[in-house]
Chain A
Amino acid sequence: MTLWIFFFFHAFLRVCSWQLFLDIMSAWEQCVGILQSELPAQLFNTWIRPLQAVESESELKLLAPNRFVLDWVKQHFLPRIEELLTSLPDYSSMRIALEIGSKPPSREPLANPSIPSKKPSIGRKQAIPNNLNLSFVFENFVEGKSNQLAKAASLQVSENVGRAYNPLFIYGGVGLGKTHLMHAIGNNILKNNPSANVVYLHSERFVSDMVKALQHNAINAFKEHYRSMDALLIDDIQFFAGKERSQEEFFHTFNTLLENKHQVVLTCDRYPKEIKGLEERLKSRFGWGLPVAVESPDLETRVAILINKATQSGVSLPDDVAFFIGERIRSNVRELEGALRRVIANSQFTGEPITLGFAKEALRDLIALQDKLVNVDNIQKTVAEYYKIRLSDLLSTSRSRNVARPRQLAMALAKELTSHSLPEIGQFFGGRDHTTVLHACRKIQELRDTDSKLSDDYSNLLRVISS
């Protein structure tokens, strides 16, 4: 009998507290409605909208995303919020607590499934998500001369975890597919062995997790977690630069993983030795395995990427449109995808088919700007700066090797990047004959196949000028 009374009493309390919570929430909604009508839209959207009300015993707890918002709300809006809430019947003694935080979502995110956002990993239970994006796989990575070595090495690593190349260090400029390869490695490892412990994270996340672990006295759990991985994939490690404590911790994690023959994959925007603000011992260890470069894709690869991406979006892209975009956007794959996205969106919203004329119109502002930026003057200036020579030398009659080679390179770039005729380019270079320009272009083409230093210089300059 006593037990029954206790049970009913307990249930009654729960219903009461749930009712109170509902009432508090509806009181907050009323308060928000009034604030929305009182405040200019911009103030409301900056300070009130990000607040989140949560269940709390007999008080209204408001969560702010960070300290700055919390302080601002406390200083500028809290008195009004209190005034509004306490003026509601039954809430005259309501207390309001402001805290930093966020309530975990109680529903499935509304994300569009067609958007490559991160989803939980391949169907297996895991306490901590592996952060892998399932849409980045080897099958949809477009291979070309600029990235085939990196792709082959990545595939090897994912098939022979910890035994092929360790660490695998993928480096290159922004937006060239390093992160795609990294996710593809993780996804392939899990495909072959669904119980493998794999985690992908950005270097900033490693640093912030470590800081949190230190704050909460949980550094041992942090160490144990990362050191128990079968494969640890860390993106953009150049952001470790200058963070000594994180480097120290990463160094030990790295060593433990390598000693146990667990795989480490790193990406960076440059070769290990060139990272400033990174300890020497880390730089040297990063070079132990295999450093592979990804470079800017050539025209054919850019076109293949565009056609591939369009197909993934269910759009058939005419070849002439793909060549048009590929010729104009040379800097990196992200910008290429951005341009394609704009053409597809414009076509979907207007219902017009994608033709060359349509694409030109959709990208008009972007292309006008590129044409403005990429001119012979700009090319000459950039090449002179790159080789640390004077612009006047580049235009002079000097035949000294350290001036003549950069001049030839600048001419070849002018031919590739602008629509000027050879005689016009000759004019830009101190009134030279068009046969001199032709010779320069042929010479540079020949050297790009035989001289790796010059080939690198050419790619770097191409990227700098067209980005």
Chain B
Amino acid sequence: MVAQVPLPFHLDPEQSFAAYVAGSNSTVLAALQATATGSGDALVYLWGESGLGKSHLLNACCQAAQAAGRRSACLPLRELCAHGPALLDGMESMDLLCLDDVQAIAGNRDWELALFHLYNRLRDNGKYLIVTADTVPPSLRIELADLRSRLAWGLTLRLHPLTDEDKLAALTQRARQLGMRISPKVGNYLLAHCQRDWPSLCRLLAGLDQATLAAQRRLTVPFLKQYLQDHP
């Protein structure tokens, strides 16, 4: 029998606060929600290693801002920094501006200056700023002291990695969005035998989604074993 070919349909998982598995980060979420809706700190510096869902949270912040009638934008600096800092011009017209991966511009004088001036304009206009980075403010290699001290001025929040239980809960939730069911047995097998960082788990889940559709099978431990053998 010819295997069924699934449609190459990519579902972008919903990037809302509700869809984020908080684990031990519930205070971080509460603080971000408050800032997104205009009742929290005007500057938030969110840091944590990559793969913890910082970008997800920024997108959630934009969504929450919209629900509160506030204009917002989210700029992924790692992808956009090559285009130069003119991208920041006029961004003080946003009620909430989110800057993802601020470490990408550290050490670049033009970007640092532009961000410093933008920070001043946002503050002067009573606007809100959330930045994310992969490290705490003091070890970010920002050369412009004026910018470095301003980034440390706001509320610094740390995103903690998920525990295995949290990851299992997150994986189950994500699978449900994809229309798959992960039994506790499958979940435990996954965590025991596969790479456990979140992006790897998500990639694996996407692969399993396609494979179960193609084979028209449910996700079981034997199926998973076979899949892992075929896709080392």
Q: Mark A residues whose CB is within 8 Å of B.
A: 40-42, 45-46, 49-50, 52, 65-69, 100, 102, 109-112, 115, 117-119, 131, 173-175, 202, 204-205, 236, 269, 331-332, 334-335, 337-338, 341-342, 345-346, 349-350, 365-366, 369-370, 373, 467
Contact = CB atoms under 8 A, between A and B. Distances in A.
Interface residues of B, number: 63
Contacts of B80: 46
Given A118-B126, A119-B126, A334-B150, A110 B95 contact: yes
A173 B73 contact: no
B40 A349 contact: no
Most buried by B among A115, A205, A332: A115
Interface string B139-175: 1000001101110111111100000000000000000
B217 interface: no
Nearest to A208: B117
Contact of A42 (B74, B83, B84): B74
A174 B149 contact: yes
Contacts of A202: 117, 120, 124
B62 A49 contact: yes
Nearest to B37: A110
Interface in B123-143: 123-126, 136-139
Interface string B22-51: 000011001100000111111000000000
Most buried by A among B86, B138, B150: B138
Given A45-B74, A66-B90, A334-B149, A467 B126 contact: no
A110 B136 contact: no
Nearest to B89: A66
26 contacts: A40-B12, A41-B62, A42-B76, A45-B74, A46-B73, A49-B62, A52-B71, A65-B73, A65-B89, A68-B89, A102-B93, A109-B95, A110-B37, A112-B38, A117-B123, A118-B123, A131-B124, A175-B149, A202-B117, A269-B145, A335-B137, A337-B153, A341-B41, A349-B30, A366-B138, A467-B148
Given A109-B126, A115-B42, A342-B156, A46 B74 contact: yes
Nearest to B12: A40
B91 interface: yes
Contacts of A335: 137-138, 149, 152-153
B68 interface: yes
B218 interface: no
Contact of A373 (B138, B155, B156): B138
Contacts of A175: 149-150, 153
B224 interface: no
A109 B92 CA distance: 13
Interface of B: 12, 15, 26-27, 30-31, 37-42, 55, 58-59, 62-63, 66, 68-76, 80, 83-84, 86-91, 93-95, 98, 117, 120-121, 123-126, 136-139, 145-146, 148-150, 152-158
Nearest to B128: A111
Contacts of A40: 12
A41 B15 contact: yes
A345 B89 contact: no
Nearest to A52: B71
A298 to B, nearest CB: 18
Most buried by B among A67, A174, A345, A369: A345
B12 A41 contact: yes
Nearest to A109: B126
8 tightest Cβ-Cβ pairs between the two chains A and B:
A117-B126, A102-B93, A65-B90, A50-B73, A66-B89, A349-B27, A110-B38, A45-B74
Given A269-B146, A467-B138, A65 B158 contact: no
B90 A100 contact: yes
A67 B76 CA distance: 17
Contacts of B41: 115, 341, 345
Given A49-B62, A202-B120, A269-B145, A369 B126 contact: no
A467 B144 CA distance: 12
Given A341-B41, A342-B156, A345-B155, A67 B86 contact: yes
Most buried by B among A338, A350, A369: A338
A338 B152 contact: yes
Contacts of A205: 121
Contacts of B76: 42, 46
Contacts of B71: 49-50, 52
Contacts of B69: 110
Contacts of B89: 65-68
B154 A338 contact: yes
Nearest to B144: A174
A40 to B, nearest CB: 5
A45 B12 contact: no
